[in-house]
Amino acid sequence: MIKKSILMVIAVLAIGFYSNRAFAQAAATAPTGDLVVTLSGNADYNVTAALIRAANLGATLKGAGPYTIIAPSNIALAALPSGKLDSLMADPAKLAAVLKGHVIVGKFDKAELIKTLGSGTPTLPTIDGNKLTLSVTDKHLTFTDAQGNHAKVIAFDILGTNGVVIGIDGVLTR
């Protein structure tokens, strides 16, 4: 029990230490729009906003929420295998299924994610009914989906009026 507590404290400290750069990138400013507007105005995540609109999820994610979008960066989306993004864009239902695996009901900013990690059950339900698991991998907070796809957090606390965006370096639920 003590070993587990010590490991959790070390994990929380490591996340705090190694994520200061990511947190500074998304320094909390007063949100000026909903999550879709926030993503659209962010040069690192505007492709995710376009995908949300193409999947007809804009109305949902403009709703009251709160939501947490675990958003792949533009670089992560560009790194998908050749033709994968085009294939998803051609099938809005399949694209919506992928994106729903990146949306959590509730607002999970950096502090809430760390609290969840330390809770002993570090899983968060997505709006499609699946779960994302939190862990610390290579000194980074990592999300893993039910299929084993994983991505590291690269940006915290990009605030919208109806939730928060957490930036990741990969695509989940492919």
Tell me the Ramachandran region of residue 163: left when phi exceeds 0, alpha when psi lies from -120 to 50, beta otherwise: left
Please list, in sequence order, all residues whose beta carbon lies within 8 angstroms of the beta carbon of residue 150, skipping any fewer than 6 positions away: 137, 142, 143, 144, 170, 172
Of 68, 39, 88, 54, the closest CA to residue 141 belongs to 68
Q: Is 28 in contact with 158 (CB distance < 8 Å)?
A: no
Domain boundaries, the chain: 2-168
For residue 120, the model assigns a pLDDT of: 77
Task: Return phi, psi of residue 113, to 5°.
Answer: -65, -40
Coil, strand or helix at 124: strand
For residue 13, the model assigns a pLDDT of: 37
For residue 66, the model assigns a pLDDT of: 94
* CA distances, 3 to each of 10, 13, 91, 114 (Å): 11, 15, 48, 18
Rg (CA), the chain: 16
Q: Return d(Cα 85, Cα 89) in angstroms, integer.
A: 6
pLDDT tens, residue order, the chain (174 aa): 444 443 343 444 344 444 444 444 444 566 678 899 999 999 999 999 999 999 999 988 888 889 999 999 999 999 998 888 888 889 999 999 999 999 999 999 999 998 888 877 799 999 999 999 999 888 889 999 999 999 999 999 999 999 999 999 999 976
Q: Return d(Cα 162, Cα 84) in angstroms, integer.
A: 30
Q: Return d(Cα 146, Cα 127) in angstroms, integer.
A: 14
**Fold of the CATH domain 2-168:** FAS1 domain (2.30.180)
Two tokens at 54?
């193409």
For residue 95, the model assigns a pLDDT of: 93
For residue 64, the model assigns a pLDDT of: 85
What pLDDT, in 10s, does the model give residues 27-65? 456 667 889 999 999 999 999 999 999 999 998 888 888
